[in-house]
């Protein structure tokens, strides 16, 4: 029996090259946005990276673009506090989002980001796909589930990306993957494949590049 939500297959050489090329050119930081009114003109396809605080969103953007300190990554959860826009090639924006589920900042501050995050996920016309990042050690938590429901209701296709795969043994990873599959099966907006990554080791990065480059 075919398991639901298989891993995205590694790309063939030709598609992989398309992914490589998209990220081979210079990536530019466009702006950090703190309110919907500050979003750049909707003139490019957008993909965003959402996930709990500290799951590895900024690190994944760094790994994709091969630029080490582009999207600030840090040990301090809650570091990304704005919606950060980066270019990829001539046609794409990569959008680094503030993490959700981080309680250890002043409540009004957290509430402000969370409101902005939700407005963005529900209301951005050019958002083609949301990557929802899940820590390979922890699986889908209830806050992830909430964001997935929000994406369902906004009809934004989202794809689960397992992060920090280097931190778990294969057996553990398979258990977590099955937990993730169970959670995804309740969400109509879930794209039917999962990508396993490690920004640290470069695992899954060419695959994710190709997935983005071949979005139509
Ligand atoms: N081992 C390992 N560590 C990682 C990986 N990706 C990220 N990290 C570490 O996890 C921590 C958080 O990474 P970030 O990329 O800042 O996480 P984030 O999701 O952007 O966090 P916020 O902006 O706070 O929401 C950093 O210490 C990273 O070095 C990975 O693939 N493997
Ligand atoms: Mg970040």
Q: Which tens digits make up the pLDDT trace of 16-56?
A: 999 999 999 888 889 999 899 999 999 999 999 999 989 99
- Ligand 1, atom 16, lies closest to the CA of 73
Angle at 111 (CA atoms; ends 105, 115), nearest 5 degrees:
140
Ligand 2 mean position, distance from CA 23 (Å): 19
Q: What is the pLDDT of residue 71?
A: 59
Q: What are phi and psi of 204, to 5 degrees?
A: 75, -5
What pLDDT is recorded for position 166? 98
79 lines ligand 1 (CB under 6 A): yes
Q: Please report the atom of ligand 1 found closest to the CA of residue 198.
A: 31
Q: Can you give the pLDDT at residue 106?
A: 75
When the pLDDT of each residue in the chain is averaged and rounded to a whole number, the result is: 91
Give the residue with greater pLDDT, 73 vs 210.
Answer: 210
- The domain ranges of the chain are 13-213
Residue 1 has pLDDT above 80, yes or no: no
Cα–Cα nearest to 195, from 215, 210, 179:
210
Residue 67 near residue 27, CB atoms below 8 Å: yes
> CB of 51 closer than 6 A to ligand 1?
yes
Q: Please give the Cα distance from 3 to 135 (Å, whole number).
A: 21
Probe target for ligand 1 pocket from 73, 96, 114, 131, with the most ligand atoms within 8 Å of CB: 73
Q: Please work out whether the CB of residue 52 comes within 6 Å of at least one atom of ligand 1.
A: no
**148 close to 190: Cβ distance less than 8 angstroms:** yes
Q: What is the pLDDT of residue 74?
A: 55
Taking alpha carbons only, the member of 59, 85, 66 closest to residue 166 is 59
Distance between Cα 190 and ligand 1 center (Å): 23
Mean pLDDT over 8-22 rounds to 95
Q: Which pLDDT score, from 0 to 100, does residue 185 have? A: 97
CA of 53 from ligand 2 middle (Å) equals 7
- Identify the pLDDT of residue 165: 98
**Which of 32, 49, 53, 54 is the pocket-test mutation for ligand 1 (most atoms within 8 Å of CB)?**
54
Ligand 1 probe mutation, 52, 53, 59, most atoms within 8 A of CB: 59
CA–centroid distance, 55 to ligand 1, in Å, is 6
Q: What is the pLDDT of residues 140-183, one digit of tens each?
A: 999 999 999 999 999 999 999 999 999 999 999 999 999 999 99
Check whether 197 has a pLDDT greater than 90.
Answer: yes
CATH label, 13-213, candidates 3.40.50.300, 1.10.3720.10, 3.40.50.880, 1.10.510.10: 3.40.50.300
Q: Is the pLDDT confidence value at 195 over 90?
A: yes
User: Which bound ligand lies closest to the C-alpha atom of 165?
Assistant: 1
pLDDT digits (tens, 9 = 90+) for 58-114: 999 999 998 766 656 555 655 677 899 999 999 999 999 988 877 667 777 778 888
- Please give the Cα distance from 112 to 116 (Å, whole number): 6
């Amino acid at each position: 029996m075919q398991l639901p939500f298989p891993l995205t297959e590694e790309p063939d050489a030709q598609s992989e090259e398309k992914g490589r090329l998209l990220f081979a050119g210079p990536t530019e930081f466009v702006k950090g946005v703190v309110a919907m009114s500050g979003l750049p003109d909707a003139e490019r396809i957008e993909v965003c990276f959402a996930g709990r605080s500290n799951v590895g969103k900024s690190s994944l953007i760094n790994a994709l673009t091969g630029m080490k300190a582009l999207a600030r990554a840090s040990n301090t959860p809650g570091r990304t506090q704005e919606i950060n826009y980066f270019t990829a090639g001539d046609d794409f924006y990569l959008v680094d989002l503030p993490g959700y589920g981080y309680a250890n900042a002043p409540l009004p501050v957290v509430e402000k980001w969370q409101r902005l995050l939700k407005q963005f996920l529900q209301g951005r016309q050019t958002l083609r796909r949301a990557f929802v990042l899940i820590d390979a050690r922890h699986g889908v938590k209830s806050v992830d589930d909430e964001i997935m429901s929000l994406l369902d209701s906004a009809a934004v296709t989202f794809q689960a990306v397992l992060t920090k795969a280097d931190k778990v043994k294969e057996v553990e990873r398979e258990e977590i993957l099955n937990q993730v599959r169970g959670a995804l099966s309740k969400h109509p907006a879930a794209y039917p494949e999962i990508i396993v990554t490690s920004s640290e080791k470069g695992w899954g990065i060419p695959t994710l590049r190709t997935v983005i480059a071949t979005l139509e």
